[in-house]
Structure 1
């Protein structure tokens, strides 16, 4: 009874976990769908410097004002626009009234807060390296791009990086505090707009977030939990069956009359590797071939001949005088 209770509790847990995974599979994008990324939000209300960026903010449209930091710029090779391979020009932009994350230390007050902004694309490396943003106030509407991690590879020329990685930018510009992610401008106004200028092409924002649907990974986990529940029930049934068979065999042994019980001792002859099948047949009552002897074959010809001989013997001659 105790084992049954344990198995029932285990199966209940497995089924509950399966139902939870199914719920996650059906509602994985509830938070994403509830966030209207098409609506333009004030930048400082959704982003904090030196703080992780929630994935829900990917593709969020924001508005901000500030100024460029022309000397804090990197070129990212290996980017593609309209099928052409070339370079991104990314310049740090200092937003007005920027906010810091709660975990930032006191020494952050002496540093400038800035976020990487994609100013444009070009297929010419020289144009990318020589492009510079203008100085002055800028108002911008942009889309928050995804967080990029460092990419390994061979060394690049000075001023170039393989990805828009926060950790790399911090190493290149130690006097700056930056954000997770970067901005892809939709429009920029002001005398120092500097987006898609100096031979740079405009890079249109793209959608990177998951649009929703049924999460196959969570569905797979749900199926796994159901399999575990089935295995627990099967193992319990197998143990119960084995216990029943052992009890039944024990009762059969106990039901035999001890007074009529016969025990045999079989002694093999010297040099004999196994007991003769005929001897074993006499002890067990099973045919000798069940103990390794050659199974006898019935000959149809012999049987027919024997039958014919019997008929001829029993036939009474007729006729004569």
Structure 2
């Protein structure tokens, strides 16, 4: 396709209109402006590709937890530290810790199911013997046992509090159970007592505990395997073996690959639009010249 040069005069011979050939798409893409734009797209695509590779690396666990690892009883200090979040492979890990109950800190948590039966947990603040790794005072919230009715839970909490108040402060007891992540505090149900707790949250329990000045508290809580007093043992089966593949991260990696491809498509689309506009301008100019 050719067009007469609109800037040339009419006539024949030397004065005849000069035919102008419109640029091809390839010629437009090879211009300096679009080469620079392509270089920028290469940088952007490279960043997206790196992010995709990073997500892919996080998606596949190259060092998965061995089957049954959560059933080995470990000292609490080897699994977690006060103030730290519990990593996913350690959720449900069986641990043991030694300490004493703090009097007046036995709190009831409702909406607790035990083998399908609704009921209540009685919880307590266990002051850890020796404190944390630096020797500072430290405590962990413990779900001590389950009760079928609120009245039973209240009576059990009273008995535990009486025992803790009269116990020798040097007589520490060992608690074994599963370490579980904080469930997060929520508002009590509408119309319920404002003090009602329906989630096992050490953060919420901390606001009701005594003697917490300078205290370091564990973020996860401990579900005791053996109940104390008149309470029933809490049913806490071993966690399901997790997959070594995180499909959400794989989906994110695919997204980054799509974004990298889109960067090149955007460059192509912009260059093509510029080429089409240039050809269209030449057609309009040729039409006006004729």
Partner in structure 2 of residue 26 of structure 1: 60
Partner in structure 2 of residue 7 of structure 1: 41
Partner in structure 2 of residue 179 of structure 1: 218
Instruction: Give the SS at the match of 2:207.
Output: helix
Match runs of 1:1-321 below 5 Å = 1-27=35-61, 30=63, 36-49=69-82, 51-56=83-88, 57-99=90-132, 113-131=138-156, 132-133=159-160, 134=163, 135=167, 136-154=171-189, 160-176=196-212, 177=215, 178-187=217-226, 195-198=227-230, 200-207=231-238, 211-248=242-279, 261-262=289-290
Instruction: Give the SS at the match of 1:217.
Output: helix
For 2:210 and 2:229, the matched residues in 1 are separated by 27
Deviation, structure 1 residue 250: 5.8
Post-superposition CA distance 1:56-90 (Å, at most 9, x none): 44222222222223421011111111221111111
Post-superposition CA distance 1:87-125 (Å, at most 9, x none): 1111222221121679xxxxxx7xx63322222111122
CA RMSD, aligned part only? 3.3
Q: 1:32 to 1:152 in 2, by over 3 A?
A: farther
Q: Does the 8 A contact of 1:74 with 1:159 survive in 2?
A: no
Q: Does the 8 A contact of 2:99 with 2:126 survive in 1?
A: yes
TM-score by length of 1: 0.64
Instruction: Give the SS at the match of 1:115.
Output: strand
Q: 1:2 to 1:34 in 2, by over 3 A?
A: farther
Q: Does the 8 A contact of 1:42 with 1:63 survive in 2?
A: yes
Instruction: Give the SS at the match of 2:268.
Output: helix
Q: Does the 8 A contact of 2:202 with 2:219 survive in 1?
A: yes
Q: Which has the higher contact order (CA 8 A, sep 6+)?
A: 2
Q: Does the 8 A contact of 1:58 with 1:209 survive in 2?
A: no
Q: Does the 8 A contact of 1:48 with 1:98 survive in 2?
A: no
Instruction: Give the SS at the match of 1:211.
Output: coil
The total of aligned residue pairs comes to: 241
Q: Which structure has the larger Rg over C-alpha atoms?
A: 1
Q: 1:71 to 1:156 in 2, by over 3 A?
A: farther
Instruction: Give the SS at the match of 2:206.
Output: helix
